[in-house]
Amino acid sequence: MSKAHRGTGVRKEPNHGRGKCPRCGKDNIKTLYEQEIDGQKVKICKYCKATLKNIAQKQARSGKAAAAKAAPAAEATAEAPQA
């Protein structure tokens, strides 16, 4: 189970896991990383996987920040009718 993207593991893959990355369009690159893009499961290269991971992390972080910002506002509005 180790090294799923190197050595013996990729020999089982068609063309040794190499192909054209559907995201960046690079040819003859290892496309071993499954990723859901627009509801479609596609196999992308490690660079695109890293990029998408970074984007997702950034969004998660900004989403958390937005939620934290929204929460005090919601509390304030909830308290307002009582006062």
> Nearest distance from residue 43's CB to Zn ion, in Å?
10
**Contact flag: residue 24 with Zn ion (CB under 5 A):** yes
Closer residue to Zn ion, CB minimum distance, 56 or 74: 56
**Contact flag: residue 43 with Zn ion (CB under 5 A):** no
**Contact flag: residue 23 with Zn ion (CB under 5 A):** yes
CB atoms within 10 A of CB 19: 18
Q: Which residues are at the interface with Zn ion (CB under 5 A)?
A: 21, 23-24, 44-45, 48
